[in-house]
Chain A
């Protein structure tokens, strides 16, 4: 369980990153917290020629409010975000998801950008990004671009990021006072990979749900929004949510066929998704009922 030999450089600027990526292409990997990349290298699933350590890029470590959105630098560590009042206040969905990520010692090192770019189908943060309509700020040698979470996640461990690019930060809309959120997952033990999980959000207008987002994870190649179920809930009166709960369950079964994995069948995952959706609706009713 030792990685093969590789070279290592510490980037002092973004230009350093682009220079190494240009010289080594696919054989270079960016090292952020290393909590997924280093185990993959230990198991020799990843065999890069060179690692580019970006820990010194202080600009990627910022957490700030910009134009009504919370901007989270790619190098913010899970434990730092868990301690940050800005996250609890403006992006409580992320605050609720973070304790489910691995274990404390791993949360102390792992970064949000690393988790998003690794794009593990069972990871919590990609689903949160999808549920929050996050936008991804990406820098390449010739400029910057922004993509939505829907565009960013493309497959198992596969994103919209090109070989010569780096994720700088993600922006999430700050939760409105009328906002609702829910996060939960089924895992065999605390910190294990989820068998199925749900990151959900909504807002309340005139005692009705709006902007409903149901982003399931660990059930497909990427986190997946249950858009038919979202449509059923859009405009539903909070007082009558029980009446649509069965329809929501049916819609989820119609639109998403979860993949089997090593331990959990598709049918079991679907049942978990339906339970999670019911829990989300119950949470929305509780939160929406608050004065």
Chain B
């Protein structure tokens, strides 16, 4: 146990180790952006809007509510890594097809949140989709098109729909 003004951390980001000296007050979202990964958006910075959603050790988390120093030794996945994996391709296509984004600021967080829902529940109801996405704010779409896109992907993946 020791204390310093900056702390050197190594975080596995999208499968690659990243090492940096950071101030304890730096959030994970700011750390990722400083490392060039600008897909993690910083909105409210106090855990309300969901724009900074990333995955930490396999589960979604608010990038603004975790300090970078807390992630020393952990695995983080951002929208860039999830996109490169190809796992979100159908979801991303459905967002485009349904006009489920306008300005796009919420979209990375929205995609990662929807991805987590579809991993846990193959065919969620519209109500369950709305509840799961309730922590991700979109100020453009009114959510209807986002729910449409997620529902469409769920049905397609289950082989039930167009």
Which A residues form the contact surface with B (CB < 8 A)? Answer: 1-12, 16, 19, 31, 34-35, 38-39, 41-43, 50-51, 53, 55, 79, 99, 102-106, 108-109, 189-191
Contacts and interface: CB of A to CB of B under 8 A. Distances in A.
Nearest to B42: A1
B65 A9 contact: no
Contacts of B62: 35, 105-106, 109
B25 A104 contact: no
Q: How large is the interface on B (under 10, 10 to 19, 20 to 34, 35 or more residues)?
A: 35 or more
Contacts of A11: 1
B60 interface: yes
Nearest to A190: B134
Interface string B54-78: 0010011110111101100000000
Contacts of B27: 2, 38
A7 B3 contact: yes
| Residue from A43, A79, A106 having most chain B Cβ neighbours under 10 A | A106
B50 A8 contact: no
Given A6-B25, A7-B3, A190-B134, A105 B50 contact: yes
A109 B66 contact: yes
A107 to B, nearest CB: 9
B1 A10 contact: yes
A106 B134 contact: no
5 contacts: A8-B3, A38-B65, A39-B65, A51-B24, A190-B131
Contacts of B50: 103, 105
A1 B42 CA distance: 11
B118 to A, nearest CB: 12
B130 to A, nearest CB: 7
A34 to B, nearest CB: 6
Contacts of B130: 190
B59 A5 contact: no
Interface in B1-48: 1-5, 7, 23-25, 27, 44-47
Contacts of B1: 9-12, 16, 19
Given A8-B24, A106-B47, A106-B135, 19 more contacts: A4-B25, A6-B24, A8-B67, A9-B2, A11-B1, A34-B65, A42-B64, A43-B46, A50-B3, A53-B70, A99-B131, A102-B135, A103-B134, A104-B135, A105-B53, A105-B113, A105-B135, A106-B65, A108-B60
Contacts of B148: none
Contacts of A39: 46-47, 65
A263 B23 CA distance: 38
Max chain A CB contacts within 10 Å: which of B7, B60, B65? B65
Contacts of B44: 1
A50 B136 CA distance: 31
B116 interface: yes
A34 B67 contact: yes
**Which 3 pairs from chain A and chain B are nearest by CB?**
A103-B135, A1-B45, A8-B24
B129 to A, nearest CB: 11
A104 B116 contact: yes
Nearest to A4: B25
A5 B3 contact: no
Nearest to B25: A3
A24 to B, nearest CB: 10
A38 B24 contact: no
A15 to B, nearest CB: 10
